[in-house]
Structure formats: C-alpha cells, structure tokens
C-alpha cells in the first residue's frame, strides 16, 4: 500500500478513549467497541477490562483499583453524528453461561458486536 493511502486511513481513525472517562472508568482500559446508527445518534457498546496486558511480555496485570464490580455488564452510550459522547445508557441485563464441568458461571458474551437486522 502506498504511504499516501496509509496516511489517509490513519487520518480517518477516531480515538474513543475519552468515552471511558465520560462513563466513569478512570483506571480501566476499554475496548471491543461496536457502533451502529440509532435514530439521530449512534449507539455504542464496549466493555471495560479489569486488567491490562504488558507490551513487553504480554502478561495480564491486575491491580486492586482496576477491579470491576460488575465485569459482565457492557457499557452502552449514545454518540452524536460527529461521534461525540452524548450520554451513558444503563445495561439492564446480562446473560450467563453455566460451564457443565467446572460448575462455574461465566459471562455469555465477552466481545459482543451489534448489528442492525431487518430494520
């Protein structure tokens, strides 16, 4: 790919990291965004991580201030047509999966992707 095409693509990348602060996540990285048109807005979903991964050894690091009270709940918010934060929406319910061997309750959706289907 030519350097000019790469520069054009990089210019179109939008940084959503400030949404974490707007939604009250000051110590947690957020990611796995999914964004769809929603009326006059965009509906965005993402999740907060209770850990970070080191870049050198790729190890998971946990700290007490990163512990999530409800790690299974996705974060939903509205963005305006310029992709600016409007407001946080409440996650009213989460689904779970019961592991048949380990007798452990796990979040059913870890990295959800929203879609629009049939209107």
- Annotated domain spans of the chain: 3-107
Percent of the chain with pLDDT over 90: 16
Identify the band that residue 8 occupies on the pLDDT scale cut at 50, 70 and 90: low
Quick one: pLDDT at residue 43? 93
How many CB atoms lie under 10 A from the CB of residue 73? 16
Quick one: pLDDT at residue 3? 56
Q: Rounded mean pLDDT of 82-100?
A: 82
**Residue of 81, 91, 83 whose CA lies nearest to 24:** 91
Q: What are 26-44's pLDDT values in tens digits?
A: 888 888 888 999 999 999 9
Q: What residues form DSSP beta bridges with 46?
A: 75
Q: What are 53-70's pLDDT values in tens digits?
A: 888 888 888 888 888 887
Query: C-alpha distances in angstroms, 76 versus 52, 96, 104, 106, 119?
Result: 21, 18, 26, 20, 20
Q: Rounded mean pLDDT of 3-31?
A: 74
Quick one: pLDDT at residue 2? 59
**CB-based contact 62:51 (threshold 8 Å):** yes
3-class DSSP assignment, residue 37: strand
Q: Rounded mean pLDDT of 75-92?
A: 89
Quick one: pLDDT at residue 93? 74
Q: Rounded mean pLDDT of 45-58?
A: 85
């Amino acid at each position: 790919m030519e350097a000019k095409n790469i520069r054009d693509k990089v210019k179109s990348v939008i940084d959503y990291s400030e949404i974490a602060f707007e939604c009250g996540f000051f110590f947690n990285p957020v990611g796995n965004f999914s964004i769809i048109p929603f009326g006059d807005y965009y509906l965005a979903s993402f999740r907060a991580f209770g850990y970070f991964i080191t870049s050198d050894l790729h190890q998971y690091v946990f700290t007490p201030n990163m512990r999530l009270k409800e790690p299974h709940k996705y974060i939903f918010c509205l963005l305006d047509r310029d992709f600016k934060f409007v407001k946080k929406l409440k996650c009213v319910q989460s689904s779970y999966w019961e592991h048949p061997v380990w007798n452990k309750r796990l979040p059913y959706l870890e990295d959800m992707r929203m879609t629009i289907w049939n209107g």
